[in-house]
Structure 1
Amino acid sequence: MSLCLGGCNKATAVAGAKFVGAAFATAVAEQAATKVVEQVDLSLQAPHPPEAAEPTWNPGSPHPSAAHVFASQTPGTWVTKAGYAWNNPANAAEGVQWQPRARHPQHAAVLASAQEGNFVPAAGYNWVDAANSDLRVVWQPGQKHPNFEHVIAADGEGQWRAEEGFRWVAPDDATNFAVVAL
């Protein structure tokens, strides 16, 4: 770029270019500073972002840090998966543990087995399908009680009777499964 229109020597042209370059650099710096100020001013005028919204409560979603715990239907309330119980109901941070023989919350005749994560039919019941794909059970009259000898499932669901050749020790006490031979 030449500032001389015909009558300058090389030294004058270089000096003029340096002056114009310095003036141009100053103008660019001032313009950049103005843009920064404008950007700052614009950011001050911009509305503040809204406060972080509360996370959406999703019933059934897993707890972010506690295994075997999920969101209940009530916002802010956590519940254990079937078969698990709180180590300390007053302090959820202490976690949960598997509880063999605990009743399944949606299937009353299904119990937590000794093996964590598995379920078994309650006494007197069998799985509807052998694959046990849906935890459905059916009452099985004639099935032996797993804990009381000579006690078998009666025809009515949930009812028990003494095996042939035996009688109840306390027939009026539905919680006493003791039998004696006739």
Structure 2
Amino acid sequence: MAQISLPNIPNVPNIPVPFSVVILVHFFFASHVQLSDLFYQWMPSYLFTHLVVILIALWVAYQKKGYEPIIAYIIAVAISMLNDIIMLGLYFEDTQDATDDQEHKIRDTWRYSAAAVIIHLLAKPLCILYALFAAFMRYNAGREGNPDDYHRPEESDDQQ
């Protein structure tokens, strides 16, 4: 049998999207939900949950070693997704009924805020996938032995 040789493809440089983009996505949507006063029933829960998500995402962006921040981020985003689904299920219809008698500006602002909640909810699985990708990249950096990219927690500096 003839062997097929593959062309030599040079390594593509790893240009990761910084985790700060994920932080900006969460901040953008969490701030746009606040535009409507009609979400007053569940706004404290929504804002607290997303403040925690943003703070943990800042931790992920700051600490470039280890998996704990990424795992905490994934758990926080999953909890915020559950919280968003529960809050939309409980209060969406009541708020929609309250806007039927309102003027167009209030109703349109509420619709925009509701759309921001739903789009943010749909973007969260992408944020989780990106966090898993970041964890994979940290794992690969650790396997390649590049101490600048990753430091395995079980190895101490005095053993090296």
Relative contact order, higher structure (CA 8 A, sep 6+): 2
Give 1 or 2 for the bigger CA radius of gyration. 1
Point out the structure with the larger helix share.
2
Q: Same fold (TM over 0.5)?
A: no
TM-score (norm 2): 0.22
